[in-house]
Amino acid sequence: MKRFSRNILLLAALAGGGSPAQCETAASHFVPDPARACALAERLLKYQDPEGRILLNLPSNPSVRLVPYFSNLAALGWTEAARVTTDISQRTRFLDATERWLRWYAANLNPDGTIYDFEGPPRALKSKNDYDSSDSYPATFAMVAWRHRTASGDTSLLRNLQPALTKAYGAILLTMDEDGLTYAKPLYPEKYLMDNLEVAAGLAAFTRCFTELGDATLVADATAHREQIQRSIPRYWRPSIGAFGYTIDPFGIVSGKLKVAYPDVLAQLMVLSWASNGDAPARQFLDRLQRDFFDNNPDARSAGQWWSWPAIVCADTELSTSALQAYVAAMQAPDPFAHDLGLAAATFATGTDAIYFDEVRMPWEALTSDTASTQPAASQPLTTFETKTARLILTAHEATAAIRDSPRPALLMPMRLPASIDMEFRKENAYVQANVVFAATANLSQLHRIGFDIDIPPTTSPGALQINVCLVDTDGDLWDARLDTITPERDGIRWINPEKTSLNKWGRNGDFQRSIAQTAGLRIQFNNITTKPASYQVTLKGIHYDTK
């Protein structure tokens, strides 16, 4: 799974400890430990290089990584430690280190507001020309910028960062869907719950920054998007398991079974930490998680830091104490990750203040409401394809793709035809998927066949594309049909008979009659079957329905 690496590291980042006497959170039962917070923040200073970059590992390692998302989380340790230290010179060191990081981030933004990861020898880091997400990186950047403003009491840095904040804000919008939720990044259309919790908090931070900067237009825009995300969070709730799913795919299918620590359990803990107000029903849900996944579980207890923040929010002293003890032991490692140190410092200093925005907090009943349910409404028979009732969303593997003349290269909402897509395949068996998502569930049972009018200009690089089409139902079942292999010399309409499709190996239910009556959309997959890299300009000119 693409996001496995980032979120496995994030498991270690959900670290916990005491909270201060003066903090925004309601967890007043915690006693702050400023000395421990500042000691951890001092250790973190060793992870920053002369350019201001916060490395994931100590620069004494022969090879290191720089992941701006994790660096943002680490920097929160400095902002929160600066709030509680009584040593003026130490406070200055922490705020200066945070400023150097923020300035480096701002100077290295891509034109669209995203930022790349780096790796290599400490003195010769090279860009990977890729990032793990386009939503969580800018969200946490805004959080650090706002927490620096809070800790320093100074607006000068915020004003200097205004162009970067505006650009970074645009990166969040790159993959925002109609429901307000964001896909992880262009060409990777998964709406991860964990990311969207961070984005909601990040939008609250952007709102506070733009308010300080006097940009009323962006204040209203960020507020509206944050409220829309909050209305959509209940879409992840799965009544059948009494828990949240961890992702929603382009067709609205929610995944997650609450069986494994990652991603299932972590998604629940992040809802409790980032979005709940810690009321009695939230505490009951945390008690259930603790009973099923923490108590008498050596693996969970050895990584008890995952549990500290929800325990603080829900005022569970016993659990937070156990999790804190596990975290103290984890920090004895000689070379912990930078974000582990940073979030530990933040938690010992100010509890959950680093991620706490009151406007994001919701009662548990609102978080689990079925008003935003993904259960399909009664489907309507379709006999003609209308672009205005569909969206086009791209996915790519070992390839890049962009929709021509679309302000967002991986999204076209509403769909327009013809739609030209530039594709570059890095190797054999790379693919690009054009996901045609219906606005409402469709009943295609009256169709004899479906035609796809696809064109490839003769000037396209030599080679051939194999095209597969899937019918996708509301359960996530995929029914496959293969179109003819096409070349620049062969284009035109290609037809499939829905009744002759076969269940994909990833199928869940396998009831074709139900699937055809509850279709969520169509997936057109372009596979590079040449033995070398290739590029194509593919134009989807039309989709045609032929009734029985």
Q: Residue 375 falls within a domain, yes or no? A: no
* Of 367, 401, 435, the domain-final residue: 367
Please count the structural domains in the chain. 2
Residue 96, pLDDT > 90, answer yes
pLDDT attached to residue 325? 79
The predicted-structure confidence for 49-79, as pLDDT tens digits, reads as follows 999 999 999 999 999 999 999 999 999 999 9
Q: What are phi and psi for residue 142, nearest 5 degrees?
A: -65, -35
What CATH number corresponds to the domain at position 93? Answer: 1.50.10.10
* Of 343, 367, 391, the domain-final residue: 367
What CATH number corresponds to the domain at position 486? Answer: 2.60.120.260
Tell me the pTM: 0.92
pLDDT attached to residue 376? 47
pLDDT attached to residue 381? 66
Same domain, 159 and 240: yes
Q: Residue 317 falls within a domain, yes or no? A: yes
Same domain, 231 and 165: yes
Considering only CA atoms, which of 295, 316, 317, 350 is closest in space to residue 34? 350
Kindly report each contact of residues 509-512 with a partner whose C-beta sits within 8 Å and lies 24 or more positions away, as own/partner: 509/473, 509/475, 509/477, 510/477, 511/477, 512/479
Name 443's bridge partners. Answer: 381
The owner of tokens 């194509």 is 536
pLDDT attached to residue 21? 36
Same domain, 307 and 427: no
pLDDT attached to residue 14? 38
Same domain, 342 and 197: yes
Contact by Cβ (8 Å): 54, 66 = yes
Which tokens in the block code for residue 282?
């939230």
* Of 367, 391, 418, the domain-final residue: 367
Same domain, 175 and 314: yes
Q: Buried b vs exposed e over 347-370: b needs ≥16 C-beta within 10 Å?
A: bbbbbbbbbbbeebbbebebbbbe
Considering only CA atoms, which of 217, 219, 260, 223 is closest in space to residue 241? 260
Same domain, 347 and 397: no
Q: Kindly state the percentage of the chain with pLDDT values over 70.
A: 87
Strand 380-381 vs strand 431-443: parallel, antiparallel, or unpaired? parallel
Give the helix, strand, coil percentages of the chain, each rounded to 5. 40, 20, 35
Same domain, 441 and 339: no
Enclosing domain of residue 478: 380-547
Reported in sequence order, the residue ranges of 263-389 that DSSP labels E, i.e. its strands, are 380-381
Residues composing the chain = 548
The predicted-structure confidence for 240-296, as pLDDT tens digits, reads as follows 999 999 999 999 999 999 998 889 999 999 999 999 999 999 999 999 999 998 887
Alpha carbon separation from 190 to 114, 177, 254, 259, 394 (Å, rounded):
17, 11, 10, 20, 11
Q: Residue 534 falls within a domain, yes or no? A: yes
Same domain, 310 and 253: yes
> What average pLDDT score do residues 318-332 get?
82
- Tally the C-alpha atoms within 13 A of residue 166's C-alpha that lie toward its C-beta: 12
Helices (H) and strands (E) counted in the chain, each on its own, are: 17, 21
Same domain, 345 and 405: no
pLDDT attached to residue 32? 83
Same domain, 346 and 418: no
Same domain, 400 and 262: no
Q: Residue 75 falls within a domain, yes or no? A: yes
> 491 pLDDT band (50/70/90 cuts)?
low
